[in-house]
Amino acid sequence: MAALRRLRGSNNEGVLALVLLGLIVAMSIANPTFFTLNTGFSILRSAIVPVIFALGVLIVVITGGIDVSFAAIAIFAGYATVSFCLNAGFDPGLPGIFAIAIGVGASLGFVNGIVIAQFSLPTLIVTLGTQGVFFGAMYTYVGASYYAELPGSMAALATSNLLDVTTSSGRAYLHLLVVPVLLLCLLVAWVLKRTMFGRSLYAMGGDLEAARRAGFQVKRTQVSVYMLVGALAAIAGVIHIVLSRSANPRDLVGGELDIIAAVVLGGASIFGGRGSVVGTVLGVLLVQVIKNSLLLVGVPSAWLRTAVGVLLVLGVGIQAIAARRDSRRMRVIEDLDSAQQHEQKVGS
């Protein structure tokens, strides 16, 4: 029983993994072309940017907040960096590019954090506001043109593959950037589990006032969280530009909801205090696999948005109903416990 519970995971990661596995098996039976290295690698590739975004969203959601400005931050940071490098005519190399972008992203995140922490405002509405500000500011002050050429280092990265396998159904490529994303996942998981900062995020999400009373630096942590989201978004922004081999200011913004949906499907509670990196990654993969399968089955791509919406309703709806039933069952069990205690006391 305990082992079963462990497998299920504290946020239903096990269930999610099972659903994902079931889906893959079902798809492979329905359409053998699905079960190929090619498909697998392309799903992984398509998951790179969403996973990084999702890590950022996970961190905020754990603290009980939400951030919808991350896509705007990502494209702002990525696009501004590329635009700066191209206009200045120099290529600072990948570390330099990432450093600039992360700096920009973290500063924008700082704006979110300071407004939210200092005035304790609702996070959704603040980040909705800053989303408009960041996006508008990029167009107004950074530029609106499309860059088809990237700085040399980025262009080189775009074509770097980790694996290059020839299979019966053609060549399959696994992009090099899968590696840093994996490392990033491990890093975030480590921070959440093994640092006081990580624990303070869960504590704040559990009960903000209690966290304050326990001596956590609540405001400072909140600001750091939004800066961290900004930094992660910036990394995702640069990677997105690398993978699409062009810098388009119209990209990314509008796709926030898919990411939030994936994080919530991954078991993170929108009320805070719950969520794991494993669940989040599974959530993103589930959304990507479903998108991919729909295409393979021949469902027009126009249905994708609806599919994600339905997935979200099902995922969250089942959680909501289960939570309600759980709380009802718990009361009865507690009642039985206390009834037994009464009996013992009366007996003794």
Partner 1 sequence: MSPDTKVRNEVSQTNANSLRQFNHQLGSWTRQFVRRPGANRGAGRMVVALLLAVTLFAILNPRVFLSPINLQNIAVAAPEIGIIAIAMMVVMLTGGIDLSLVAIANFSAITISTLHTAIATTDPDLANNLGVVIVLAGIAVGMLGGAFNGFLVSVVGITPILATLATMQIYNGIAIVWTGGSTLYGAPAMLGAIGQAAVANVPLLFIIFLVVAVLVAILVNRTALGRMIQLEGANPVAAQYSAIPRRAVLLKTYTVGGLLAGLAGVLFLARNPTASADYGSSYVLLVIVIAVLGGTNPTGGFASVFGVVLATLTLQVVSSGFTAIRLSSYEYAIAQGVILITVMIFDSVSSSRTKRPKKLDPQLPSEASPTEAALLRP
Partner 2 sequence: MTSMTTSQPPTPFVSARGISKSFGGVPALVNVSIDLIPGEVHCLAGENGCGKSTLIKIISGAERPDSGEIVIDGVSHAQINAHAAIQGGIQVIYQDFSLFPNLTVAENIVLTAEVASGRRLYSPGSVLPKAKAILQELELDLDLDREVGDLSVADKQLTAICRALVNDARAIIMDEPTTALTHTEVSRLFALVERLRARGVALLFVSHKLEEVLAVSQRLTIMRSGRQVVSGPTSEFDQRSISRHMTGREVDESRVVSDLDLTAPLALEVSKLSLAGAYRDVSFGLHRGEILGVTGLLGSGRTEIAESLFGVTPADEGEIRVGGKLVPIRTIQDAVTARIGYVPEDRLSQGLFLEKSIADNIVAASLESHRTRWGTLSRAGIATTIKQYFVGLKINAPNAQAPVRTLSGGNAQRVVLAKWLATAPTVLMLNGPTVGVDIGSKEEILELLRVEAAKGMSVIVISDDAPELVAACHRVLVIKQGRLTHTLEGDQITVDTIQERMSA
Binding site for partner 1 (CB under 8 A): 66, 115, 119-122, 124-126, 128-133, 135-137, 139-140, 207, 209-210, 254, 257, 260-261, 264, 270-271, 300, 302-310, 312-313, 316-317, 320-321, 323-324
As a whole number of angstroms, the distance between CA 2 and CA 249 comes to 50
Among 78, 109, 113, 205, binds partner 2 (CB under 8 A): 205
Q: How far is the CB of 277 from partner 2 (least distance, A)?
A: 15
Beta bridge partners of residue 173, listed in sequence order: 164
Among partner 1, partner 2, none, what binds residue 145 when CB lies within 5 to 8 Å by partner kind?
A: none
For residue 326, CA distances in Å to 112, 274, 290, 319, 334 come to 36, 17, 29, 10, 12
Counting contacts by CB under 8 A, is residue 199 touching partner 2?
A: yes
Give, in degrees to the nearest 5, the angle at Cα 340 between 338 and 344: 115
Examine residue 120 and tell whether it contacts partner 2 (CB under 8 A): no
Question: Cα(256)–Cα(117) distance, rounded to whole angstroms?
Answer: 22
CB of 103 to partner 2, least distance (A): 23
**If binding is defined by CB under 8 A, does position 180 make contact with partner 2?**
no
Among 48, 68, 97, 203, binds partner 2 (CB under 8 A): 203
Residue (158 or 304) nearer to partner 1, CB: 304
Query: Interface with partner 2 includes 215 (CB under 8 A)?
Result: yes
DSSP 289-317: HHHHHHHHHT--GGGHHHHHHHHHHHHHH
Amino acid letter for position 239: I
As a whole number of angstroms, the distance between CA 243 and CA 235 comes to 12
Say how far apart CA 49 and CA 288 lie, in whole Å: 11
Task: Give the range of 97-105, 214-222, 236-244, 308-316 binding partner 2 by CB under 8 A.
Answer: 214-222
Read off the tokens for 180: 């840093």
Query: Which positions lie near partner 2, rule CB under 8 A?
Result: 193-200, 202-203, 205-207, 209-216, 272-274, 330, 332, 334-339, 341-342, 345-346
